[in-house]
Chains A and B, each alone.
Chain A
Amino acid sequence: MSQSANHRKSIAIEKIRADFPILSKKVNGKPLVYFDNASTAQKPKLVIDAITNYYENQNANIHRGVHTLSQEITIAYENARVTVQKHLNAAHPHEIIFTKGTTESINLIASSFGKKFISKGDEIIVSEMEHHSNILPWQQVCEERGALLKVIPINDAGELIISDYKRLLNSKTKIVAITHLSNTLGTINPIEEIIALAHAQNIPVLVDGAQAVPHIRVDVQKLFADFYVFSGHKLFGPTGVGILYGKEKWLNELPPYQVGGGTIKTVTFEKTDFADLPLKFEAGTPHIEGGIGLAVAIDYINTIGLDAIAEYEHELLVYATEKLETIEGVKIIGTSKNKASVISFIVDGLHPFDIGTILDQLGIAVRTGHHCTQPLMQRFGIPGTIRASFAFYNTKEEIDIFLSGLEKAIKMLK
């Protein structure tokens, strides 16, 4: 595909694919068709090179040494923080906390916010479509502090029922924790409205952005999000690094999550004065090359442009959805009009595991199972789904290979 003739930035697919070394790999003797992007995305060469370069040329500990390498890598790491800040349009770099990933970011807030603000009889709101990572930490806080977990239900299309959400919000609600984009259904939630409704009652909102950031431009100030969390590895960056964005006001009020090296101003055996943001929440030597690699991934995505990415992925979504619907026995789970390029489906009478196993033999990587959303599976009364999730480096030709693989699998299994 060449550059768009209609004066808009479009996806130069061949060039983009060449940026991702793994995409030319063969799996089980077949060219890899990687449709498991919602689990983890592939990495551009630039990110891989940044990590190699870190170990070959830059390795030193940050924030500690007076020596040149330490100072240089400290600057590089703090620049990475600024890259993330700008990408999310956060007000300050110190509102960006590096974590291990979405799961740790949510655990951090659940733990620190819980300690400070949640007591017996309080309520926490999540939704029926949450990933286990945005259920379990809150469930734990509820158990520890005698609070109650309230759940926003969804309709058959896989959309939040906002009228029920409004009814759940009350003076006992202490926080709302909700996904921006469902990892199983692909539904994009009306996050601005959800936040506005909570804020009308002075309730803060944590947004699980793990699935949203690879597909949608996120402006935390425009959203008025109190906390916004995501993982580096789904955003074409390294594994083991993630982000917690928190409004300065909140982060200053919360106690540290883990304590140790780097989190302090002064320590005596009697008392510790904790460091200012962001170091207060960054105990121990961080995943330095992870942070740097993530910033490289963000810069890379921005050279393509998230608007162009969203437009192209929407094309892939529509193409795949239309074709899937023509295959007998296929039922798509999650039919919201507002969807990202994530398609979950089941095939009448067949187990997702069997389909996934045959597709794997054909070099096609999809995810099967409950996708860490068991309550959602219970809502739909199914054991699991087959999920194909596309990134901007996927193509319609790959979708065709996947569809003929699926037909082959169905034929073999029926």
Chain B
Amino acid sequence: MSIEATENEIVDEFEMFEDWIQKYEYLIDLGKSLPLIDEKYKTEDNLIKGCQSQVWMHSELKDGKIVYTADSDAIITKGMVALMVRVLSNHSPEEIINSKLDFVEKIGLTKHLSPTRSNGLVSMIKQMKLDAVAYKIKN
């Protein structure tokens, strides 16, 4: 499935929610799900510090595709992290670099990506793309 197709899938899922409570409950459920990252990758190097919450992100290249794993100390942030991983993981560096990620706006959660939110998400997305650029140059 392409990045865009996954984005559309998420937009469809969110359209079923009737109010913000259901939306956030879904994010919280995602956040509560199993750890998204191997404990050994929760290192200082992989830490993206936000003013409010922190994010850990690790990437590796497998068969020409990048696999991301990530985690956060805040559940709602972790839910957002899970969505990002779902959208971007298992795609080629090229696809990731060119992704627009406008699903966040479509599901009405843009405020989590505003710089003032300082939850580490904006920096994480930037890092995901930077990793993709690095893998592309290496290959």
Give the contacting residue for A369; candidates B24, B51, B75, B76; CB below 8 A: B51
A384 and B24 contact, CB distance less than 8 A: no
Q: Is A380 an interface residue (CB 8 A)?
A: no
Contact of A413 among B28, B51, B53, B119 (CB under 8 A): B28
A412-B77 contact given A351-B53, A353-B53, CB 8 Å threshold? no
> Which of the residues A353, A370, A383, A384 comes within 8 Å of B76, measured between beta carbons?
A353
Given known A368-B52, A383-B73, A413-B28, contact A353–B119 (CB-CB < 8 A): yes
Q: Which residues of A contact B51 (CB under 8 A)?
A: 369-370
A361 contacts the other chain (CB 8 A)? yes
Q: Mark A359-371, 1 if CB is under 8 A from B, else 0.
A: 0010000001110
Closest residue to A352 on the B side, CB-wise? Answer: B52
Q: A358 at the A/B interface (Cβ < 8 Å)?
A: yes
In B41-76, which residues have CB < 8 Å from any A CB?
51-53, 73-76
Given B20, B21, B25, B74, which contacts A354 in the complex, CB threshold below 8 Å?
Answer: B74
A55–B48 alpha-carbon span in the complex (Å): 44
**Complex Cα distance A370/B51, Å?**
8
Chain B positions 89-125 with a Cβ under 8 Å from a chain A Cβ? 119
State whether the Cβ of A357 lies closer than 8 Å to any Cβ in chain B: yes
A350 to B73, CA, bound (A): 9
Q: Is the CB of B20 within 8 A of A353?
A: no
Interface centre among A351, A369, A370, A384 (most CB of B within 10 A): A351
User: Cα distance A356–B119 when bound, in Å?
Assistant: 12
In the complex, chain B residues whose CB is within 8 Å of the CB of A384: 52
Instruction: Kindly provide the distance from the CB of A344 to the nearest chain B CB, expressed in whole angstroms.
Output: 15
Interface residues of A in 348-398 (CB under 8 A from B): 350-354, 356-358, 361, 368-370, 383-384
Q: How many angstroms between the C-alpha atoms of A368 and B20 in the bound complex?
A: 21
Residues of chain B lying within 8 A (CB to CB) of residue A361: 20-21, 24
Instruction: Please list the residues of chain B having a beta carbon within 8 angstroms of any beta carbon in chain A.
Output: 20-21, 24-25, 28, 51-53, 73-77, 119
Q: Which residues of A contact B (CB under 8 A)?
A: 28, 350-354, 356-358, 361, 368-370, 383-384, 412-413
